[in-house]
Amino acid sequence: MEMVKLTIDGKPVEVEKDATILKAAKTIGIDIPTLCYFQLKDMNIENRPGGCRICVVEVVGRRNLAPACSTNVAKDMVVNTHSIRVLNARRTVLELILSDHPAECLTCAKSGYCELQTMAQQLGVRELPFQGAQSTYRKDTSPAIIRDVDKCIMCRRCEMMCNDVQTVGALSAVNRGFMAVVAPAFEMNLEKSPCTYCGQCVSVCPTGALTEVDHSRNVINSLADPTKTVVVQTAPAVRAALGEEFGLAPGTLVTGKMVAALRRLGFDYVFDTDFAADLTIMEEGSELLDRLTRYLKGDQSVKLPILTSCCPGWVNFFEHNFPDLMDVPSTAKSPQQMFGPIAKEYFGKKLGIERKNMIVVSIMPCLAKKYECQRDEFKVNGDPDVNFSLSTRELAHLIKLANIDFNSLPDEEFDNPLGASTGAAVIFGNTGGVIEAACRTAYELYTGKKLEKVEFNELRGLENIRHATLDFNGLPINIGIAHGLGNARKLLEDVRAGKSQFHAIEIMACPGGCIGGGGQPFHHGDSEIIKQRAAAIYREDAAKPIRKSHENPFIIELYKEFLGKPLSEKSHHLLHTRYFDKSAATYVEE
């Protein structure tokens, strides 16, 4: 690639011919302020509408200011990124954006995390000279995501994630001029749209236009209620990212402190979703083996590949777009939803606690889990198996609200019997982790041999679609992995066309897997953070004494005492589910 020499702020720089001024400046440590621009490097995700005009710079010889994100470099170009003309223009642009933005920082859910707020501070905005009418819209609350689009600045990031990356198509820019906004079709509520609640729109929104439904108040009320036993479960991906909210470096494992904080918040029992992940492997691994052996024996009625089903964003996507393949995913519930019935029916009953007096709270990196726990099939007589799901961000808020000094907490252990887990369970947080965990168990159950090496490195990595062939004692097993719903769609279309070569496919809706979930601390496009979180998850796995789900003694005990064996009638009743055809859903009522 041909290189080009130019000058930025008096400094010489040499970059590829097709680089933008923004990229060129970055290579010499100059960070031109941006607002609508967003990039998740290494994952091919970029939003570059050139719309906000915050990143404008002076280019000698060019009459008007150039948007750095969308202007290519040229030989001998001379750029000034912070002349007085640029600074004045940048501030005026921001004042114009703010002229149609509610001045609600004090009560806004995004306060302290808002990129618009940060920009106003950075540019020294001290007054709002442009007063006038403001465009107002109806507030939209869905089970997981709140749309308050009075705050929308038309950066188009959410539209990009939803349409280009996730290929869900729930959002689009609509109307024009003053009334332009990003909304679902017919400006109906998100709940009526094909939205999967994956939350990627929330994780990229620079303002408070898109936020999550916050159940902290419900949890606080439950904790304060002396008649309730409140039990909490924590997802694997949370422990690799929670520390970031307290100033710790990305990739710092804070499992022990997380448990200590939850105990101090007043939860009666601090359990681990990872325990239920081991359970999921028992059920799903057995289902995989059952289908595989019947298929190999020539049973034509058996559907392969088997698809993982622990991701509710993925399940939603599936129900909307591939209902014709309904019997392809595993019937196993997600770890969150397996935990609920075990907590209420097994643990709670053992302690003599009435079902309605046990509140199960989950801490998840995910927003779709908020929607998942209120699905009707996950309730018994109206009482949900999992009452509330909080995101990693909400937990951090709660810890700060309770004035707990997170960084000085001692490391504590989970409670038993629902707190012990293996390394296989913790890798659920990464893309490729669920299927690796399943293979660790499936290999040993199928071949009867012990795995020499527990890590399946060929299943790891951040490429969008990965595949590997594993050797089960001479039997080749083809594994497919996708993260991001757009990539999932590609794999599913192959399955629909009968072209899929895979025996098992793992899908996670979020880029990077759960560690990049919609409820995690904002990464602002820094893919290094996602890589560090993934590495932390693998470190926790390597440090565990037990690394295969079927060797978890508490899981063995649970089957012996209560469930019988995987895929038993009791297991089916409590730990398996069914799916619903949502393809005919329309915005227009009958």
DSSP classification of residue 33: -
How many residues at the interface with another protein, by CB under 8 A? 21
Classify the C-alpha dihedral 243-248-252-254 as positive or negative: negative
Tokens of 429: 């947080």
Does 589 bind another protein (CB under 8 A)? Our answer is yes
Tokens of 436: 């690796």
Residue number, 313 or 417, with CB nearest to another protein: 313
Is the bond leading into 566 cis (omega within 30 degrees of zero)? no
**Active-site option among 372, 394, 436, 540:** 372
Tokens of 586: 């329309």
Does 497 bind another protein (CB under 8 A)? Our answer is no
Residue number, 249 or 584, with CB nearest to another protein: 584
Amino acid (one-letter) located at 212: E
Closest CA to 406 of 415, 414, 397: 397
CA atoms within 13 A on the CB side of 427: 33
Residue number, 280 or 487, with CB nearest to another protein: 487
Residue number, 178 or 186, with CB nearest to another protein: 186
Residue number, 36 or 277, with CB nearest to another protein: 36
Any catalytic annotation for residue 549?
no
Quote the least distance from Cβ 478 to another protein, whole Å: 29
DSSP classification of residue 295: H
Quote the least distance from Cβ 134 to another protein, whole Å: 20
DSSP classification of residue 63: S
Q: Applying CB under 8 A, which part among 111-119, 290-298, 451-459, 580-588 lies near another protein?
A: 580-588
DSSP collapsed to 3 states, 116-158:
HHHHHHHCCCCCCCCCCCCCCCCCEECCCEEECHHHCCCCCHH
Residue number, 170 or 567, with CB nearest to another protein: 170
Quote the least distance from Cβ 212 to another protein, whole Å: 21
Q: Applying CB under 8 A, which part among 283-291, 442-450, 528-536, 581-589 lies near another protein?
A: 581-589
Any catalytic annotation for residue 310?
yes
Any catalytic annotation for residue 287?
yes
Residue number, 164 or 412, with CB nearest to another protein: 164
Quote the least distance from Cβ 141 to another protein, whole Å: 19
Quote the least distance from Cβ 160 to another protein, whole Å: 13
**Active-site option among 142, 514, 527, 540:** 514
Helix (H) or strand (E) holding 98: helix 84-98
Any catalytic annotation for residue 369?
yes
* Cβ(367)–Cβ(391) below 8 Å: yes
How does strand 45-47 pair with strand 56-59? unpaired
Any catalytic annotation for residue 391?
no
Residue number, 569 or 590, with CB nearest to another protein: 590
DSSP collapsed to 3 states, 411-451:
CCCCCCCCCCCCHHHHHHHCCCHHHHHHHHHHHHHHHCCCC
Quote the least distance from Cβ 174 to another protein, whole Å: 5
Contacts for 160 with CB less than 8 Å, ≥ 6 apart:
38, 45, 47, 204
Tokens of 117: 């707020």
Closest CA to 209 of 266, 164, 253, 171: 171
Any catalytic annotation for residue 334?
no
Distance in angstroms (rounded) separating the CA atoms of residues 467 and 485: 16
Buried b (16+ CB within 10 A) or exposed e, 558-570: bbeebbeebbeee
Contacts for 125 with CB less than 8 Å, ≥ 6 apart:
91, 94, 95, 98
Quote the least distance from Cβ 154 to another protein, whole Å: 12
Any catalytic annotation for residue 319?
no
Residue number, 161 or 260, with CB nearest to another protein: 161
Subset of 154-213 contacting another protein (CB under 8 A): 163, 168-176, 183-186, 193-194
Residue number, 190 or 459, with CB nearest to another protein: 190
Quote the least distance from Cβ 243 to another protein, whole Å: 37
- The residues pairing with 361 across neighbouring beta strands, listed in sequence order, are 232, 388
Quote the least distance from Cβ 163 to another protein, whole Å: 7
Quote the least distance from Cβ 244 to another protein, whole Å: 33
**Active-site option among 193, 330, 389, 500:** 330
* Cβ(530)–Cβ(523) below 8 Å: yes
**Active-site option among 257, 344, 369, 370:** 369
Any catalytic annotation for residue 372?
yes
Helix (H) or strand (E) holding 358: strand 358-364
Distance in angstroms (rounded) separating the CA atoms of residues 523 and 533: 11
Does 126 bind another protein (CB under 8 A)? Our answer is no
Q: Which residues are catalytic?
A: 284, 287, 310, 330, 369, 372, 377, 514
Residues of this chain that bind another protein (CB under 8 A): 163, 168-176, 183-186, 193-194, 586-590
